[in-house]
């Protein structure tokens, strides 16, 4: 089975440099032409998305808001640092970390079980009589994971809040369920890709299916799974913060409270804590993944239990899980309490049958169009910012001679990397609230907020692409005396551009899902309406919107996958 480009992209970050998919050989002629058409289509999409903003005769920029923006950034140099507040920030940071850790742990459990159940190897008929059952089972398992994957953490959070009430379980499950569905997909592909021979040998010796998968396939997929889990932990910190904005507690909740009260210097303390937490998680995850890919290239795809960094990290993660349960006083009994059961049946009763939103299908489609346009603009912003940041942020380890110029460049490199960390550490709703200072509500502030945030994520992926480029062409250019700028234009960008495009297309789908998040603070599209409907307990209409978003996500996923296949 060949991996879809999407799955590879979802696993980005867990791949060792050597396994970063190389482009297959170019098809002569046609490829260039096709790429030109797609480029044209992209430009057309961006222009079409920007057109309503440009043509609208309402003012776009709020001049009076700019002063607030200046005030906000001026407060950066004077964060609130008194002991009492710092203690609160520390405790909130712990809560956010705890949610992220527990959410990742839950997602791993769902991912491993779901991954086995959605793998082809598990359902491969070994007796002809079971073939039909196997095909049905595999299809059901796949379908069962599509919906949780298409729904954003925040929507899970809002739904679970209604059912379970205020409980740490809400945040943990809101992260764990959608992350688990994605992890399941990745794990199933890892299992299906792994060498089947040891597994088949076990089946041939009479082992049951479960034991054969456990002994024959899991060990070889475990290293990649571990890598992926650490990558997801890093993502979970961001999700846990965003969930805080809908009231599950932690840094996000505090951030929103300070924002509402317009106490900027408190916000900055919280933002610094968030950036620090994010940077630590990024650093930890990169360290573990580098070690794992290092051990993989040394010794054919193994988890090297003897690597002290990896072993220590796994132990530390396990300890963090235990500590997190204690810190948030996780009480899973709300899951089977009478109240939760009543709320769940109430919610189910009100969600079904679905009710069309006020304004009918036309309004729904218009809002879907706005959401789509917002995501396209966001991606245009993200792509531009990320590409500009990624090149200076790359260390270019391919040019292995340590030169004086590299040391001189270090400040630039660190500045670019820090910028990207800040961009992705600040949750999109906070960017949206800031954007609402500068712009009148509409599609633009949402697009700017999502674009800035996505630039941080995308920039990191792009930096990895540049650092993993084939070294020989670059060394050749460098040997003939090319300056760094020439190296970038002649060596780096041409080679990296297709992967840049592929990652951007992949993130486009994620961004469509995330439009909900900026909608929560009123930045336009389906998200705003969803938020209104939920606040006024119109659950049936809310469900219609969620379904629309899932369908929109699937559509974008389909288009983006088709384009990626076509430009490869």
Partner 1 sequence: MAGDRVFELRRASVRLGGVDVLSDIDLEIEAGERVALIGPSGAGKTSLIRLLNGTVAATGGRVRALGCDYRVASTRKIRAARRRIGTVHQHFDLVAQLRAVHNVNAGRLGAWPFWKAALSLARPFEVASAEAALRRVGIGDKLRERTGDLSGGEQQRVAIARVLVQEPRVILADEPIASLDPARGREVVDLLFAISDETRTTLVASLHDLDIALGRFDRVVGLRSGRVVVDTSTADVRAADVAELFRTDRDGSS
List of residues contacting partner 1 (CB under 8 A): 126-130, 197-198, 200-208, 210-212, 214-216, 219-220, 222-223, 299-303
Q: Which is nearer to partner 1, 139 or 210 (CB)?
A: 210
Distances (CA, A) of 431 to 46, 215, 282, 459, 518: 21, 47, 20, 17, 9
The string of DSSP codes covering 518-543 is HHTTT-SSHHHHHHHHHHTT-HHHHH
Q: Which is nearer to partner 1, 28 or 129 (CB)?
A: 129
The distance of closest approach from Cβ of residue 112 to partner 1 in the complex, given in angstroms and rounded to an integer, is 12
Q: Which is nearer to partner 1, 200 or 257 (CB)?
A: 200
The distance of closest approach from Cβ of residue 189 to partner 1 in the complex, given in angstroms and rounded to an integer, is 18
The distance of closest approach from Cβ of residue 222 to partner 1 in the complex, given in angstroms and rounded to an integer, is 7
The pair of three-digit structure tokens given for residue 407, joined into one six-digit string: 């040391």
The distance of closest approach from Cβ of residue 299 to partner 1 in the complex, given in angstroms and rounded to an integer, is 6
* C-beta separation of 13 from 464 below 8 A: yes
The distance of closest approach from Cβ of residue 386 to partner 1 in the complex, given in angstroms and rounded to an integer, is 36
> DSSP state, 246?
I
Q: Which is nearer to partner 1, 222 or 488 (CB)?
A: 222
Q: Which is nearer to partner 1, 217 or 550 (CB)?
A: 217
Instruction: State the alpha helices, DSSP H only, in 151-263.
Output: 153-164, 168-193, 197-204, 209-216, 218-243, 251-260
Q: Which is nearer to partner 1, 214 or 547 (CB)?
A: 214
Q: How far apart are CA 33 and CA 388, in angstroms?
A: 26
Q: Which is nearer to partner 1, 24 or 206 (CB)?
A: 206
Q: Which is nearer to partner 1, 207 or 495 (CB)?
A: 207
**Residue 143 neighbours by CB under 8 Å, 6+ apart:** none
- Torsional class of 352: left (φ above 0), alpha (ψ -120 to 50), beta (otherwise): beta
3-class SS string, 269-327: HHHHHHHHHHHHHHHHHHHHHHHHHHHHHHCCCCCCCCCHHHHHHHHHHHHHHHHHHHH
The distance of closest approach from Cβ of residue 305 to partner 1 in the complex, given in angstroms and rounded to an integer, is 9
The distance of closest approach from Cβ of residue 129 to partner 1 in the complex, given in angstroms and rounded to an integer, is 8
The distance of closest approach from Cβ of residue 116 to partner 1 in the complex, given in angstroms and rounded to an integer, is 12
> DSSP state, 17?
G
* C-beta separation of 239 from 175 below 8 A: yes
| Exposure string over 316-327, b if 16+ CB within 10 A, otherwise e | ebeebbeebbeb
Q: Which is nearer to partner 1, 9 or 192 (CB)?
A: 192
The distance of closest approach from Cβ of residue 217 to partner 1 in the complex, given in angstroms and rounded to an integer, is 9
The candidate with the shortest Cα–Cα distance to 20, out of 41, 3, 45, is 3
Percentages (nearest 5) of helix, strand, coil residues in the chain: 80, 0, 20
């Amino acid at each position: 089975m060949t991996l879809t480009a999407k799955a590879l992209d979802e696993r980005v970050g867990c791949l060792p440099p050597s396994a970063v998919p190389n482009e297959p050989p170019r098809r002569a002629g046609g490829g260039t032409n096709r790429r030109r058409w797609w480029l044209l289509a992209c430009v057309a999409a961006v222009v079409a998305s920007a057109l309503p903003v440009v043509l609208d005769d309402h003012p776009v920029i709020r001049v009076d808001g700019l002063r607030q923006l200046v005030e906000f950034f001026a407060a950066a140099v004077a964060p609130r640092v008194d002991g009492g507040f710092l203690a609160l920030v520390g405790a909130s940071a712990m809560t956010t970390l705890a949610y992220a850790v527990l959410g990742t742990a839950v997602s791993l459990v769902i991912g491993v079980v779901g991954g086995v159940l959605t793998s082809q190897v598990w359902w491969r008929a070994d007796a002809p009589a079971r073939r039909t059952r196997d095909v049905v089972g595999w299809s059901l398992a796949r379908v069962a994971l599509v919906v949780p994957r298409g729904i954003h953490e925040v929507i899970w959070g809002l739904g679970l809040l209604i059912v379970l009430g205020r409980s740490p379980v809400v945040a943990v499950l809101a992260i764990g369920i959608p992350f688990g569905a994605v992890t399941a997909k990745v794990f199933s592909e890892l299992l299906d890709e792994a060498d089947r021979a040891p597994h088949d040998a076990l089946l041939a010796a009479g082992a049951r299916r479960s034991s054969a998968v456990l002994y024959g396939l899991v060990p070889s997929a475990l290293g990649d799974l571990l890598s992926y889990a650490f990558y997801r932990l890093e993502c979970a910190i961001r999700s846990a913060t965003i969930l805080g904005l809908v009231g599950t507690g932690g840094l996000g909740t505090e951030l929103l409270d300070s924002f509402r009260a317009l106490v900027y210097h408190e916000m900055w303390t919280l933002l610094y804590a968030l950036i620090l937490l994010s940077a630590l998680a990024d650093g930890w995850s990169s360290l573990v993944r580098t070690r794992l890919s290092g051990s993989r290239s040394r010794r054919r795809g193994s988890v090297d239990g003897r690597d002290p960094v990896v072993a220590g990290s796994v132990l530390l993660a396990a300890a963090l899980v235990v500590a997190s349960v204690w810190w948030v006083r996780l009480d899973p009994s709300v899951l089977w309490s009478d109240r939760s059961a009543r709320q769940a049946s109430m919610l189910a009763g009100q969600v079904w049958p679905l009710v069309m939103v006020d304004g009918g299908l036309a309004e729904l489609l218009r809002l879907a169009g706005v959401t789509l346009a917002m995501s396209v603009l966001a991606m245009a912003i993200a792509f531009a910012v990320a590409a500009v940041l990624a090149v200076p942020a790359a260390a270019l380890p391919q040019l292995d001679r340590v030169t004086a110029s590299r040391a001189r460049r270090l400040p630039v490199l660190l500045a670019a990397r820090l910028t990207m960390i800040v961009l992705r550490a600040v949750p999109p709703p906070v960017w949206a609230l800031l954007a609402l200072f500068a712009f009148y509500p509409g599609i633009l502030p949402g697009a700017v907020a999502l674009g800035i945030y996505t630039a941080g994520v995308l920039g990191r992926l792009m930096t990895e692409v540049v650092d993993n480029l084939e070294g020989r062409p670059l060394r050749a250019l460098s040997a003939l005396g090319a300056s760094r700028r020439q190296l970038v234009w002649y060596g780096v960008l041409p080679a990296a551009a297709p992967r840049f495009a592929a990652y951007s297309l992949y993130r486009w789908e994620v961004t469509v899902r995330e439009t909900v998040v900026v909608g929560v603070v009123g930045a336009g599209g389906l998200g705003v309406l969803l938020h209104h409907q939920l606040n006024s307990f119109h659950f049936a209409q809310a469900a219609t919107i969620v379904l629309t978003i899932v369908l929109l996500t699937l559509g974008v996923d389909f288009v983006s996958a088709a384009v990626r296949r076509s430009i490869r």
